[in-house]
């Protein structure tokens, strides 16, 4: 399932295992690069704590708040977001981080010796995310309706004149 969604793991320059996960919302696309670390989270190179739009910052940090400080302290996350508006980008980043954390612990990237414990954390995270909001893992399936022939938009028609 992870390979179909465009997720995979690679090795960076230091030799650490890096997991890449993707999240989409409307026209925004986010890629989260998750590696073992100290709990640093950056979105487009900016630490999430000083992200300028507060509503978007809270939306992006939801998966980390739900996971807790113990899980957050084990990973470093770099998110790259393109396209869409600021809320679409925030929700895409949120989906990418949530999917990435679950896959990171499912694939036992953090430590090979405690793989059973890591898989238990992954299952717990999956259940917490699904209980809180299904779109954190599944994504939002709604799309814009395509524009029709000889119209301004999908539904709008020409104004009729009766006199």
Strands (E), 6-49: 8-11, 17-25, 28-36, 41-43, 46-47
pTM for this entry: 0.82
Q: Name, in order, each residue with C-beta under 8 angstroms of 36's C-beta and a sequence gap of 6 or more.
A: 16, 17, 74, 75, 76, 109, 110
Architecture of domain 8-138: 2-Layer Sandwich (3.30)
List the chain domain ranges. 8-138
Q: Please write the tens of the pLDDT for every residue from 19-78.
A: 999 999 989 999 999 999 999 999 999 999 999 999 999 999 999 999 999 889 999 999
Enter the tokens of residue 163.
Answer: 């006199």
Query: For the chain, where are the alpha helices, taking DSSP H only?
Result: 54-67, 69-72, 86-106, 115-132, 135-138
Cβ–Cβ under 8 Å, residues 19 and 7: yes
Q: Please write the tens of the pLDDT for every residue from 83-103.
A: 999 999 999 999 999 999 999
């Amino acid at each position: 399932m992870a390979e179909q969604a465009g997720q995979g793991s690679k090795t960076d320059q230091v030799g650490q295992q890096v997991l890449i996960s993707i999240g989409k919302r409307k026209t925004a696309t986010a890629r989260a690069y998750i590696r073992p670390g100290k709990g640093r989270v950056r979105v487009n190179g900016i630490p999430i704590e000083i992200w300028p739009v507060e509503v978007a910052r809270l939306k992006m940090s939801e998966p980390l708040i739900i996971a807790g400080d113990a899980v957050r302290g084990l990973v470093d996350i770099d998110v790259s977001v393109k396209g869409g508006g600021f809320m679409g980008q925030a929700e895409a980043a949120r989906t990418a981080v949530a999917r990435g954390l679950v896959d990171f612990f499912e694939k036992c990237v953090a430590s090979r010796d405690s793989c059973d414990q890591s898989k238990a954390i992954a299952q717990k995270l999956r259940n917490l995310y699904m209980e809180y909001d299904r779109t954190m893992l599944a994504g939002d399936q709604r799309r814009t309706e395509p524009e029709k022939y000889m119209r301004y938009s999908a539904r709008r028609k020409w104004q009729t004149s009766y006199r």
